Amino acid sequence: MKIKKMQDLNKLKKSGEQQLFPSGIKITVGLATCGIARGADKVHDAFKKELQKQKVKATVVPVGCSGWCSREPIVNIIIPRMPKITLGDVSEDDIPGIVRNLKNRHIPESKILYRTDAEENIADGRVRKYASASQAATSGKIPAYGTLPLFKKQKKIALRNCGLINPADIQEYVARGGFKAAYSAVTGMKPEKIITEVQRSGLRGRGGAGFPVGKKWEMARQAEGKKKYIICNADEGDPGAYMDRSILEGDPFSVLEGMIIAAFSIGASEGYIYVRGEYPLAVKQVTKAILQAKRSGLLGRNMFGTDFSFNVNVEKGAGAFVCGEETALIASIEGYSGEPVPRPPYPVEKGLWGLPTCINNVETLANIPVVLSRGGTWFSRIGTGKSKGTKIFSLVGAVERVGLVEVPMGISLKEIVYDIGGGIAGGRKLKAVQTGGPSGGCIPKRLADISVDYESLTKAGSIMGSGGMIVMDDRTCMVDVAKYFMSFLKDESCGKCLPCREGTQAVFEILDRITRGRGRTKDIEQLKDVCEAMSQASMCALGKTAANPVLSTLRYFGKEYDEHIKKRRCSAGVCSALIRFSINADKCIGCEACRKACPCEAVSGKPRKMHKISVKKCIKCRACYEVCPVKAVEIR
Amino acid sequence: MTMCNITLNGKKTKFLPGKTILENTRDHGVKIPVLCSHEALKPYGACRLCIVEIEEQGRKQIVTSCNSHVRDGMKIKTHSPRVQKIRKTLVELLLARTPEAAVEQQLARDIGVKATPYPEQGELCIMCGQCVRTCREIVGACALDFVHKGSKRSVAVPFFRDSKECIGCGSCVFVCPTGVVSMHDEISDVRGEPERIMDKWETRLPLQKCSSDGNVFATRRMLEHFARKHEVSEGFLETCSHCLRKGNTK
Ligand SMILES: Cc1cc2nc3c(=O)[nH]c(=O)nc-3n(C[C@H](O)[C@H](O)[C@H](O)COP(=O)(O)O)c2cc1C
Ligand code: SF4
Ligand code: FES
């Protein structure tokens, strides 16, 4: 059926709602990449098999990532008139037991993470209940969704549907208020009016630079060309970041709807989704979504019975980080090697095939339908003065709860790490938080109160970037961290312009020298010189921001550099050339664990007698350090 | 054409609006160091040596002069302390890459850099891209391109082997400022015919003998390429320019 009128959309919505709130039992399994990596596909299949075997009637539906990635595989069980129950760390072996209990509408408690009594649909603000308050009360000790520290401070706009709906089913997206904004925009709004609304929202690009979206659309609208393009940037090359992947895998229609609205506003008739080839599942989901949208008339000719036509193509990138840069991305789509070209002219004036092109990030576009359906003013009430709305972060590293979180701008870094992330894993101490991906910076613990917004992060020498957030504990060497990011950047520099190509290489070599104990006092001066040349003279933002990891660690952890250079020491115990392993005589119990673990017979000692490490033979592999039951091995 | 009012290194002057900052400053006798710019090629903006400091409405910015156009009221400083410092670092970095390249050594001398503080890499190519761009923009053969990323970037023909696109015209040899691209002609061991060998591109091409004096004068593929490009009969290009000028055609 082709959607032409509001009634058609409502019909689709009805059938979608029946799927989201079914009359029978429904089981959803988080089948995004993070889930599959932890075996969720097997859990999904096991459910299907076991339900058949035990003759229990229930549907099993794949959904996207719900954010608590460290507890994947995550399973939701929806039993009519009961709160929705979310289970974590589910394994294949648990399935027979779970299914057996399902017959009596019972869910064993051991794997329960939380329950959901009601869900707010952010697209229209309406709340839908799974169970009445009295029914919910019977759930007793199970914590409710909104009360968990992980979720309490989150606000999900871009991730509104991830983990809730079947990403491959357009009806479920429509049931969550999907395509209503696109319908109203295309059938009833003037493009200028839409752009004003987006401007009012204060939404800024989530791909890194934070450019105001409304302004970019206005420029693209005013640009002249016989055809215009909209490109969705899904290249997401930052190591450790997977915000965009999750959206594409868990809610591809939200991005399509954002693109439709963008295309209509700027007058584009064709769109591209440039997604990195290493995201096969994301590619599959968007491709499916495009097909379904076409079949429903939500893409293609004369959409909603108007004269607006729009089509979307999927283009796969080959995994070069620099292809996320917009001019390199365009070159890549055109079939050239992905290298940036000098701007101006900007893509909005002269982009793909020389025609006006508006490039927006996945997360940016996923926000758009909500901006329109709730209004720019509503959106602009979230966040700080200049940074509006929410931002998704992939919270990783030394934090207790690793996962994907969406928080309102202006939240403090501390709240993200301690409240949402549950603090530092293993009871260790926070040292720094790295934000903004490889060209971001490290924010030290003493600035943990910093408000997370574009301006504050930039002022602190880091950037918002696309949303990577790596938490580092006291065992992290900051020189080593800078070296790691520089090693990434030197490999990913396209090599076209001199400052970035030679600069990243030179900085890497200097840092490498320092971590090997061959640093010189004038190295710091040299680092600063090269960093200045890179950031001032590089052609594209890769080189312009490549200095950040070095400059921010120099700024906050200068002492560590000094220590490496002057004292030839690495007090974090990371740089192997600068550390020595020894056994503390007072602690050693002579258990022989270290002697057995050492791969090069550097440890000597008799059972129950004190052991010793030969400095000459030791290759600093840390095996003894990791294995000692009483922490008698010390690093100096 | 209305000229732009410009302040160049503190002096008020007028610039042509259609030209780049580099072209205008050159006309005014101000020398800005360049490596990748060539008057026959489109601006490329890769060496970044041509940076200048511009100020507009109180906003200061560093831009490359070879691909930036002038606007009325611009203040331009070609040798401000900031520019000089960055330029020096850039030259030092490039000197570390190509310590032996004569153009680079000359540039270092001009700018007052004696030695590089960075680890030397002993490369020969300065990555100006002039060969690649000449082959694409002027010749139209598109036989060359860059391969690899970062400091491993280099120029090559597809798959590093005997190229079907290379026509052996020698424009890359002519334009390369370092001399690292070379070619030579020899009699093939195998066929006993005269051939041109593009040393760096691992490509061999048969040479054409002049229909008049019998001397070899160009590769056959180059003649075919230009005959196609300029829509002249192939026979016209079978005679060397020497004989053509004398009117010795067959
Ligand atoms: C080296 C480099 C890598 C980038 N990678 C990405 C990326 O993976 N995804 C993205 O959306 N933007 C990336 N960007 C930013 C884009 O160039 C561009 O600013 C962005 O896609 C615009 O969309 P927005 O305004 O919605 O943020 C990158 C920029 C640079 C310089
Ligand atoms: S800054 Fe780096 S990535 Fe960007 S054009 Fe220059 S060399 Fe290429
Ligand atoms: S001459 Fe301008 S960048 Fe090379």
Nearest to B150 among A498, A501, A536 (CB): A501
DSSP tag of A563: I
The CATH number of the domain where A518 resides is what?
1.20.1440.230
At residue B173, the pLDDT reads: 96
Residues in chain A: 636
Closest CA to A542 of A597, A465, A476: A465
A369 shares its domain with A317: yes
* B-chain residues near A496 (CB < 8 A): 46, 127, 129, 146, 153
What mean pLDDT comes out for the span A506-513?
Answer: 96
A495 shares its domain with A607: no
| Contacting residues for B186 by C-beta, under 8 A, at least 6 apart | B194, B195, B197
The CATH number of the domain where A610 resides is what?
3.30.70.20
pLDDT digit string, tens, across residues A344-390:
899 999 999 999 999 999 999 999 999 999 999 999 999 999 999 99
Distance CA A328, CA B196 (A): 36
Helix ranges (DSSP H) in A153-228: 170-175, 180-188, 191-201, 213-222
Q: Is residue A575 in a domain?
A: no
Residues in chain B: 250
The verdict on the CB of residue A397 being under 6 Å from ligand 2 is no
* B-chain residues near A503 (CB < 8 A): 93
What mean pLDDT comes out for the span A290-301?
Answer: 95
* A-chain residues near B48 (CB < 8 A): 497-499, 537-539
A539 shares its domain with A603: no
Distance CA A536, CA B154 (A): 24
CB A513 within 8 A of CB A523: yes
Task: Look at A139-153, A479-493, B139-153 and tell me which has the smallest mean pLDDT.
Answer: A139-153
At residue A134, the pLDDT reads: 67
A95 shares its domain with A217: no
Atom in ligand 1 nearest the alpha carbon of residue A322:
1
Which of these three, A473, A495, A525, is where a domain ends? A473
Taking 80 as the threshold, does the pLDDT of residue A329 lie above it? yes
* A-chain residues near B149 (CB < 8 A): 320, 322, 491-495
Taking 70 as the threshold, does the pLDDT of residue A138 lie above it? no
Instruction: Return the CATH architecture of domain B4-111.
Output: Roll (3.10)
pLDDT digit string, tens, across residues A59-109:
999 999 999 998 999 999 999 888 999 999 999 999 999 999 888 888 888
Distance CA B222, CA B139 (A): 10
Tokens coding B53: 């400091």
| CB-based contact, A540 to chain B, within 8 Å | no
Taking 80 as the threshold, does the pLDDT of residue A480 lie above it? yes
At residue A608, the pLDDT reads: 86
Which of these three, A473, A503, A519, is where a domain ends? A473
At residue B234, the pLDDT reads: 64
Q: Is residue A63 in a domain?
A: yes
Nearest-CA residue for atom 8 of ligand 2: A494
Kind of pairing between the strands at A441-444 and A430-435: antiparallel
Nearest-CA residue for atom 1 of ligand 2: A543
A249 shares its domain with A308: yes
Taking 70 as the threshold, does the pLDDT of residue A491 lie above it? yes
| CB-based contact, A492 to chain B, within 8 Å | yes
Tokens coding B238: 């079978």
Q: Is residue A461 in a domain?
A: yes
| Contacting residues for A2 by C-beta, under 8 A, at least 6 apart | A8, A296, A297
Q: Is residue A5 in a domain?
A: no
- Phi, psi for residue A272 in degrees, rounded to 5: -130, 140
> How many Å lie between the centroid of ligand 2 and the Cα of residue B99?
22
Distance CA B238, CA A455 (A): 68
Nearest-CA residue for atom 29 of ligand 1: A325
A420 shares its domain with A518: no
Rg from Cα positions in chain A: 27
Distance CA A302, CA A296 (A): 12
The CATH number of the domain where A467 resides is what?
3.10.20.600
What rounded mean pLDDT belongs to chain A?
93
The CATH number of the domain where A245 resides is what?
3.40.50.11540
Q: Do A493 and B67 touch (CB under 8 A)?
A: no
* Percent of chain A whose predicted confidence (pLDDT) is above 90: 81
Residue A502 amino acid letter? E
CB A179 within 8 A of CB A173: yes
* A-chain residues near B145 (CB < 8 A): 337
Q: What is the CB neighbour count within 10 angstroms for residue A224?
A: 8
Nearest-CA residue for atom 12 of ligand 1: A207
Distance CA B43, CA B21 (A): 12
A194 shares its domain with A339: yes
* B-chain residues near A533 (CB < 8 A): 86, 89-90, 93
pLDDT digit string, tens, across residues A32-58:
999 999 999 999 999 999 999 999 999
CB A186 within 8 A of CB A307: no
A594 shares its domain with A561: no
At residue A129, the pLDDT reads: 87
Taking 80 as the threshold, does the pLDDT of residue A112 lie above it? yes
Atom in ligand 1 nearest the alpha carbon of residue A329:
17
At residue B248, the pLDDT reads: 67
Q: Do A342 and B49 touch (CB under 8 A)?
A: no
Cα dihedral: A329, A332, A337, A339 (round 10): -10
Residue A191 CA, chain-centre distance (Å), reads 31
Domain count within chain A: 5
At residue A595, the pLDDT reads: 92
A207 shares its domain with A106: no
| CB-based contact, A266 to chain B, within 8 Å | no
Nearest-CA residue for atom 4 of ligand 2: A540
A459 shares its domain with A430: yes
| CB-based contact, A327 to chain B, within 8 Å | no
DSSP tag of A548: H
Closest CA to A183 of A304, A42, A329: A304
Which one of B37, B97, B118 makes the best mutation probe of the A interface by having the most chain A beta carbons within 10 Å? Answer: B118
For chain B, which residues lie within 8 Å of any Cβ of chain A, measuring from their own Cβ? 43, 45-49, 51, 62, 64, 67, 82, 85-86, 89-90, 93-94, 96-97, 117-119, 127, 129, 145-146, 148-153
Q: Is residue A163 in a domain?
A: no
The verdict on the CB of residue A495 being under 6 Å from ligand 2 is yes
pLDDT digit string, tens, across residues A92-103:
999 999 999 888
At residue A12, the pLDDT reads: 94
Residue A341 amino acid letter? V
Closest CA to A220 of A254, A192, A193: A192
| CB-based contact, A497 to chain B, within 8 Å | yes
**Sign, Cα dihedral of A543, B69, B19, B10:** negative
Distance CA A354, CA A248 (A): 28
Domain enclosing residue A417, as ranges: 390-473
At residue A512, the pLDDT reads: 96
Q: Which residue has the higher pLDDT, B226 or A260?
A: A260
> How many Å lie between the centroid of ligand 2 and the Cα of residue A633?
45
Q: Taking CA A39 as the corner, what is the angle to CA A97 and CA A244, rounded to the nearest 5 degrees? A: 130
> How many Å lie between the centroid of ligand 3 and the Cα of residue A461?
29
At residue A139, the pLDDT reads: 65
Q: Do B151 and A505 touch (CB under 8 A)?
A: yes
Task: Look at A306-315, A447-456, A521-530, A586-595 and tell me which has the smallest mean pLDDT.
Answer: A586-595
Which of these three, A473, A500, A528, is where a domain ends? A473
* Percent of chain A whose predicted confidence (pLDDT) is above 70: 99
pLDDT in tens, chain B (250 residues): 789 999 999 999 999 998 999 999 999 999 999 999 999 999 999 999 999 999 999 999 999 999 999 999 999 999 999 999 999 999 999 999 999 888 999 999 999 998 999 988 889 999 999 999 999 999 999 999 999 999 999 999 999 999 999 999 999 999 999 999 999 999 887 778 899 999 999 999 999 998 888 888 999 999 999 888 888 876 677 888 888 888 766 5
A289 shares its domain with A233: yes
Q: Which residue has the higher pLDDT, A319 or A430?
A: A430
Q: Is residue A184 in a domain?
A: yes
A53: exposed, middle or buried (Cβ count in 10 Å: 0-12, 13-18, 19+): exposed
The verdict on the CB of residue A542 being under 6 Å from ligand 2 is yes
Q: Is residue A561 in a domain?
A: yes
Nearest CA in chain B to A490: B150
Q: Do B89 and A533 touch (CB under 8 A)?
A: yes
pLDDT band at A223 (very low <50, low <70, confident <90, very high): very high
Q: Is residue A435 in a domain?
A: yes
At residue A137, the pLDDT reads: 64
Closest CA to A162 of A6, A31, A316, A46: A31
A448 shares its domain with A504: no
pTM: 0.91
At residue A91, the pLDDT reads: 93
Q: What residue ranges do the domains of chain B occupy?
A: 4-111, 130-246
Nearest to A495 among B64, B117, B151 (CB): B151
